[in-house]
Chains A and B, each alone.
Chain A
Amino acid sequence: MNDLLLCAPILVAAGTGILVMALDLLSGRDDPRKGFLGVVTAAGLAIAAVLAVTLWPGAPAFEMSFLKGVLIVDGFVAFFSALVLATGAAAALLAVDHLPEQGIEPGAFQTLLAFSATGALAFVAAADLVTMFLGLEVMSLAVYALAASKRSSGFATEAGLKYFVLGGLASAFLLFGVAFLYGATGSLDLAGIAAGLAGGASSAGADRVLPQVALVLLLVAMGFKVAAVPFHFWTPDVYEGAPTPVTAYMAGAVKAAGFAVLSRLILTVYQAPSWGGLPLSPADALLGLAVLTMVVGNVLGVVQDDVKRILAYSSIAHAGYLLLGVWATDPATRALNDGVPFYLLAYVAATVGAFGVVSLLGARGEEDMRLPRLAGLSKRHPVLAAVLLVCVLSLAGIPPFGGFMGKFNLFKAVLAADPASNVTWVVVAVLNSLVALYYYLRILLYAYFREPEVVSGDDVAAAGHAPAIRSAPAWAAIGVAALASLYLGILPGRMMAASGSAASAAVVRPDLSAALAAPAALAPGKSSPAPAPASPTVSRRAAVRDAGRDAARDATRNDRDAARNDRDAAHSRSAAPGTRPPRPPRPSRFAAPPAGGGSGR
């Protein structure tokens, strides 16, 4: 019973899909009132989101053995699941009146959307790599079909095919990486692999090859899902060609799920900040990806002339900032950087709002969204223009909107992880946001400053005079997105706290408690010579690394197979916050003795 309750969000999401399928069959084929299917989908996903945030943080472990080691539910999963489900609900609402205008059949669309969200839940909550792969496939297959759902459009078909082929390739990479990890450690669950790799890290040579190759393969696969450069080539085309509600879903939910799993994989399996002692450290790989992604995304965004493509490049650039956040693991707690979940939240709210406005402009089958089509928007639809203003400025990171607080919080966390050396990358990131501002301003410039060109006759629709779709559900969705952006910018306290607790639960690591509870391991520097006291930054990092490594080695030596039991212990630990070792207060890197302060300058 307990297990059923814990699975309720996933079951509700899946049930929503089945219900919508049944309702679609029961209603007539050409029933004009099919819009209610979207409302049902949205309601179902919203209920699932509420269930996820109420049931999952601090949830007890699964009791039935067939669920143990398959799914994990904790604060981290709850946060990202709710985000994914809310985005799915918003996409369903956006689609209600968008689909008839585009000639898309709503029944199949909404069903696929609900199933995709179900898959995303499994993807995020997976405790072992096979479940993760299954979740990924359920999520992605539905999105491939959704992207191509406008069968009359060559663009949409191209988008679907492109996404399908490249997505299949990414899935293959993921599977290949999983196979290598299994080969290296003999385990498929995250905690077991982590323990296995930590043991392997001490022994030199061939043992490192498999995890190293696996790391590259996994990064490629996840880089594809979150649209990181150089695995981003599909993004602009697919975002542009797919129906806009689907684009909103891809840019929001798929990216959020991708980042959840990426962080979990990288942090759990490769154990930041020790990173398993690989030749190509995951840290270097992530940093390289992050910088490349934000620079390329922003620079290419500048030269685009289509709103959907601009937003696509913007979503690539945001992946860059987020990768920087994942890279800058807090060395003290070894948990996910607590700016990342909040940043995703703010980003998703703004992106969904912006794509939502675009989807409302796509009336009468018009999906061509070149910038001039926005001209005069603020005159024709002042409220839509205002929503676009809020969302786009939020994406640009201008206060008082959520995007600013997201950027601020993320950069603060990145700097806090290691002020002296990370300041370079933070400066790179803020200068990138300056570049990004240019293309965001271009959107607003057309929406607010330009008058539509005067044209006659049939060109009216093409020139941007086509009225926006009247759709109460979609207006509700974008209204919530805009208000959320404002709320996150002015009173972000609650959500930041939620983000912090989600981040602290990001790592599935049975040995964490051992490492933190055994300060004795800190005393003698074992593998590395004791660093000079003049550099406390280095010494603390090394100490933490050694502690983690030693503890993990002990765990492996005792009994590698016992990892499974350890994981159960981890579940119960995450269940009852009281039993978890208290998160140590974040040591300020600046609080070092004055002698060592010199290294920070």
Chain B
Amino acid sequence: MTGIETYALTPFISLTMLIPLAGAVLLALVPGRHGAAHRGLAFVVSVLAFACSLSVWVNFDPARAGFQLVEDRAWLPFGARYTVGVDGISLLLFMLTTFLTPLAILGAFSAIRKRAKEFYIAMLLLEVAMLGTLVAADMLLFYLFWEFMLIPMYLIIGVWGGERRVYAAVKFFLFTFLGSVLMLVGIIWMHLKAGGGSFALVDFLKLDLGFREQAWLFAAFGLAFAIKVPMFPFHTWLPDAHVEAPTAGSVILAGVLLKMGTYGFIRFAIPLFPDAAGAFAVPVMVLAVVGIVYGSLCSFAQGDVKKLVAYSSVAHLGFVMLGMFALTQEAVEGAILQMVNHGISTGALFMLVGVLYERRHTRAIDAYGGIARVMKVYAALLVIVTLSSIGLPGTNGFVGEFLILAGTFREALSGGGAFRAIGLALGIAAATGVVLGAVYMLTMVRKVLFGPIVHEENRALKDVSFREFAVLGALVVMVFWIGVYPSFFLSRTTASVRATLDAYKGRMVEQRTALLRGVDARAEDARAAPSPWRVAAQEVAR
């Protein structure tokens, strides 16, 4: 991360955010009775936003590492500015957001019947907040959007969700707010440390923070991000929120909102506090792998399709975290690509679950079986998306997971001492997670699609409609596009990732090694001293 590279001649980024915002205001002005008008307008607006975001993609220069297309305006008197820009780390997520939102809106056409107007307003405001979080290069602006995301999502879960929606909505809000308030204190701290005149990320990056200070700040930021990801011990809000949210909410929640956590790590936590991040790298990687295995096992035990997909998110995000802290070029690029992959595959899975739910109003796996005979197109789509989710070569999931695992192994083998053993063990455990993923996903697919039709009402199920096919088809196209030709996407991230690693990897590895030095020393001692067992055995032999 090397600062600001180019300024925007045309404010495409702001326009992309302004379109949904204006759309939300426009929707509020359309009287309440015109249901079709609302959803049509919301869809058109979100497609326009996507079209506008394409101009960001086109104007992005993959060779540059820093922020591009930057817009910078004065905002607040004490130095907070409206600074937005994209770089290789945020570009793919930015596009993912504008790509998923119209699909989620289109997918919600038939599911959202009550208070449709408010629903689409919330969706569009959510899009603004997500885009703002991804492009903000000013910490206060980032925090503003980061917190604002909670409000529409809270309403989407709470108003349009399932039976336990109130509980899930409040839990979601409180959990994520808990993390972020401490981050606010951290932001203010760094602002004062930087002389009290700026909130710009580039200024914060220049700060020279001591290790203790970094550790506290990393803890404050890391908690906010880890809850959002969610990493293993902080994940309990996720199954509730995912299961209770309406389909469109789940798609956005899994597709984009969770990525804000991982994005926060690579954008803020690592570059701002490299020493602390290095010292915490091994614990974070361990938690990530625990998340992979734990999430997979939990998924395996679920009887509810949506819950199964929700727990699988814990596992997939574990991969992303592992790759990000493995600190090799391919692992970090793979982590970024895997964020997009997860958005596409899991988004599609939630859509597919939603399709079934709309027809049968149940998400229990037992309620289905053999529906491949009646819903042929649906079955094909579900199988494709499942294979992408478990990472079959040729689909997007394979590329991401392969890069992450390859990068992890390479880092482990190049590292010395205890890290070598730990890294290899983590890589092997994560690879086992891939197998576990195949187990639970394929089991689910078998139970839902194949076998005899047990329930008579399933015989009359309608196959996917044209609208549903359009949504899922678009996602399947992306599955294969990324799977077959990933460099089209990866090449956008290379420069930024390389710059980040060049700048911070050295310091992180140093701290990581320092942390493990105690373990190494003990291993040395053990090697030098005769093993007590051998001594005991010799005693006995004598």
A434 and B174 form a contact (CB under 8 A)? yes
| Interface stretch of the complex, out of A125-133, A354-362, A410-418 | A410-418
Residues A492 and B159 in contact in the complex (CB < 8 Å), given A408-B184, A415-B192, A601-B210 = no
Determine the residue in chain B with the shortest Cβ distance to A492: B76
| Interface stretch of the complex, out of B54-62, B147-155, B325-333, B480-488 | B147-155
The reply to whether the CB of A18 lies closer than 8 angstroms to some CB of chain B is: no
Interface residues as binary, A377-418 with B (CB distance below 8 Å gives 1, 0 otherwise) = 011001000000100010000111000100010011001100
Q: List B173-197 residues whose CB lies under 8 Å from chain A.
A: 173-174, 177-178, 181-182, 184-185, 188-189, 191-196
For the A-B complex with A411-B188, A449-B158 known, give 11 more contacts whose Cβ atoms are closer than 8 Å.
A378-B115, A399-B144, A412-B78, A423-B185, A430-B185, A438-B174, A445-B158, A448-B155, A492-B76, A500-B77, A590-B194
B166 and A496 form a contact (CB under 8 A)? no
A50 to chain B, nearest CB (A): 23
A591 to chain B, nearest CB (A): 6
Task: Please name all residues of chain B whose beta carbon is closer than 8 Å to the beta carbon of A437 when the two chains form the complex.
Answer: 173-174, 177
Closest 6 CB pairs of A and B: A430-B181, A399-B144, A449-B158, A590-B193, A399-B147, A412-B188
The reply to whether the CB of B169 lies closer than 8 angstroms to some CB of chain A is: yes
A590 and B192 form a contact (CB under 8 A)? yes
Determine the residue in chain B with the shortest Cβ distance to A414: B188
Residue among A389, A400, A438 with the highest chain B CB neighbour number at 10 A: A400
B206 to chain A, nearest CB (A): 13
The reply to whether the CB of B203 lies closer than 8 angstroms to some CB of chain A is: no
Interface residues as binary, B271-286 with A (CB distance below 8 Å gives 1, 0 otherwise) = 0000000000000000
B225 to chain A, nearest CB (A): 17
CA distance A448 to B165 in the complex (A): 12
A491 to chain B, nearest CB (A): 8
Determine the residue in chain A with the shortest Cβ distance to B191: A412
Q: Is the interface of A mostly helix, strand, loop or mixed?
A: helix
The reply to whether the CB of A596 lies closer than 8 angstroms to some CB of chain B is: no
CA distance A497 to B188 in the complex (A): 19
B147 and A398 form a contact (CB under 8 A)? yes
Residues A393 and B77 in contact in the complex (CB < 8 Å), given A434-B178, A437-B174 = no
B15 to chain A, nearest CB (A): 18
A430 and B213 form a contact (CB under 8 A)? no
Number of A-B contacts (CB under 8 A): 103
Task: Please name all residues of chain A whose beta carbon is closer than 8 Å to the beta carbon of B158 when the two chains form the complex.
Answer: 445, 448-449
The reply to whether the CB of B353 lies closer than 8 angstroms to some CB of chain A is: no
CA distance A416 to B193 in the complex (A): 9
Task: Please name all residues of chain A whose beta carbon is closer than 8 Å to the beta carbon of B184 when the two chains form the complex.
Answer: 408, 411, 430
The reply to whether the CB of A11 lies closer than 8 angstroms to some CB of chain B is: no
A588 and B213 form a contact (CB under 8 A)? no
List 27 A-B residue pairs with CB atoms under 8 Å apart, sorted by A's residue number.
A379-B115, A382-B118, A398-B147, A398-B150, A398-B177, A404-B144, A408-B140, A408-B188, A412-B191, A415-B185, A416-B196, A426-B188, A427-B182, A430-B184, A430-B185, A434-B177, A438-B170, A441-B154, A448-B158, A492-B76, A496-B76, A496-B77, A496-B78, A588-B192, A588-B195, A590-B192, A601-B212
CA distance A426 to B183 in the complex (A): 12
A269 to chain B, nearest CB (A): 29
Residues A493 and B181 in contact in the complex (CB < 8 Å), given A400-B144, A400-B148, A441-B173 = no
Q: Name the contact of A399 in the complex, choosing from B75, B143, B196 (C-beta under 8 A).
A: B143
A139 to chain B, nearest CB (A): 33
The reply to whether the CB of A419 lies closer than 8 angstroms to some CB of chain B is: yes
Task: Please name all residues of chain B whose beta carbon is closer than 8 Å to the beta carbon of A427 when the two chains form the complex.
Answer: 182, 185
The reply to whether the CB of A212 lies closer than 8 angstroms to some CB of chain B is: no
Task: List residues of chain A with CB under 8 Å of any chain B CB.
Answer: 378-379, 382, 389, 393, 398-400, 404, 408, 411-412, 415-416, 419, 423, 426-427, 430-431, 433-434, 437-438, 441, 445, 448-450, 491-493, 496-497, 500, 586, 588-591, 597, 601
Q: List B399-416 residues whose CB lies under 8 Å from chain A.
A: none
A433 and B159 form a contact (CB under 8 A)? no
Task: Please name all residues of chain B whose beta carbon is closer than 8 Å to the beta carbon of A496 when the two chains form the complex.
Answer: 76-78
Q: List B77-127 residues whose CB lies under 8 Å from chain A.
A: 77-78, 115, 118
Task: Please name all residues of chain B whose beta carbon is closer than 8 Å to the beta carbon of A448 when the two chains form the complex.
Answer: 155, 158-159
A449 and B169 form a contact (CB under 8 A)? yes
A274 to chain B, nearest CB (A): 23
CA distance A416 to B79 in the complex (A): 15
Task: Please name all residues of chain B whose beta carbon is closer than 8 Å to the beta carbon of A433 when the two chains form the complex.
Answer: 181
Task: Please name all residues of chain A whose beta carbon is closer than 8 Å to the beta carbon of B185 when the two chains form the complex.
Answer: 411, 415, 423, 426-427, 430
Task: Please name all residues of chain B whose beta carbon is closer than 8 Å to the beta carbon of A412 when the two chains form the complex.
Answer: 78, 188, 191-192
Determine the residue in chain B with the shortest Cβ distance to A594: B208
B166 and A399 form a contact (CB under 8 A)? no
A497 and B189 form a contact (CB under 8 A)? no
CA distance A404 to B143 in the complex (A): 11
CA distance A441 to B184 in the complex (A): 20
Determine the residue in chain A with the shortest Cβ distance to B158: A449
A451 to chain B, nearest CB (A): 10
CA distance A586 to B145 in the complex (A): 29
CA distance A493 to B76 in the complex (A): 5
Task: Please name all residues of chain A whose beta carbon is closer than 8 Å to the beta carbon of B177 when the two chains form the complex.
Answer: 398, 434, 437
B177 to chain A, nearest CB (A): 6
Determine the residue in chain B with the shortest Cβ distance to A427: B185
Task: Please name all residues of chain A whose beta carbon is closer than 8 Å to the beta carbon of B143 when the two chains form the complex.
Answer: 399
CA distance A408 to B140 in the complex (A): 10
CA distance A389 to B151 in the complex (A): 10
CA distance A6 to B140 in the complex (A): 40
A500 to chain B, nearest CB (A): 8
Task: Please name all residues of chain A whose beta carbon is closer than 8 Å to the beta carbon of B147 when the two chains form the complex.
Answer: 398-399, 404
Task: Please name all residues of chain B whose beta carbon is closer than 8 Å to the beta carbon of A586 when the two chains form the complex.
Answer: 196
B420 to chain A, nearest CB (A): 34
A534 to chain B, nearest CB (A): 15
B357 to chain A, nearest CB (A): 20
Residue among B154, B178, B194 with the highest chain A CB neighbour number at 10 A: B154
Q: List B30-63 residues whose CB lies under 8 Å from chain A.
A: 32
A207 to chain B, nearest CB (A): 38
Q: List B346-365 residues whose CB lies under 8 Å from chain A.
A: none
Q: Name the contact of B174 in the complex, choosing from A393, A419, A441 (C-beta under 8 A).
A: A441
Determine the residue in chain A with the shortest Cβ distance to B115: A379
B196 and A431 form a contact (CB under 8 A)? no
Q: List B475-524 residues whose CB lies under 8 Å from chain A.
A: none
A308 to chain B, nearest CB (A): 22
Task: Please name all residues of chain B whose beta carbon is closer than 8 Å to the beta carbon of A419 when the two chains form the complex.
Answer: 189, 192-193
Determine the residue in chain A with the shortest Cβ distance to B193: A590
B297 to chain A, nearest CB (A): 31
CA distance A497 to B77 in the complex (A): 7
Determine the residue in chain B with the shortest Cβ distance to A405: B76
Task: Please name all residues of chain B whose beta carbon is closer than 8 Å to the beta carbon of A423 when the two chains form the complex.
Answer: 185, 189
B196 and A493 form a contact (CB under 8 A)? no
Residue among B154, B169, B170, B188 with the highest chain A CB neighbour number at 10 A: B188
A434 and B181 form a contact (CB under 8 A)? yes
B285 to chain A, nearest CB (A): 27
CA distance A431 to B78 in the complex (A): 25
Task: Please name all residues of chain A whose beta carbon is closer than 8 Å to the beta carbon of B174 when the two chains form the complex.
Answer: 434, 437-438, 441
CA distance A449 to B140 in the complex (A): 31
Residues A449 and B159 in contact in the complex (CB < 8 Å), given A427-B182, A430-B181, A430-B182 = yes
B471 to chain A, nearest CB (A): 28
B196 and A588 form a contact (CB under 8 A)? yes
Task: Please name all residues of chain B whose beta carbon is closer than 8 Å to the beta carbon of A434 when the two chains form the complex.
Answer: 174, 177-178, 181
CA distance A408 to B139 in the complex (A): 13
CA distance A411 to B166 in the complex (A): 31
Q: Name the contact of A601 in the complex, choosing from B166, B181, B188, B213 (C-beta under 8 A).
A: B213
Task: Please name all residues of chain B whose beta carbon is closer than 8 Å to the beta carbon of A415 when the two chains form the complex.
Answer: 185, 188-189, 192
B192 and A416 form a contact (CB under 8 A)? yes
CA distance A253 to B311 in the complex (A): 51
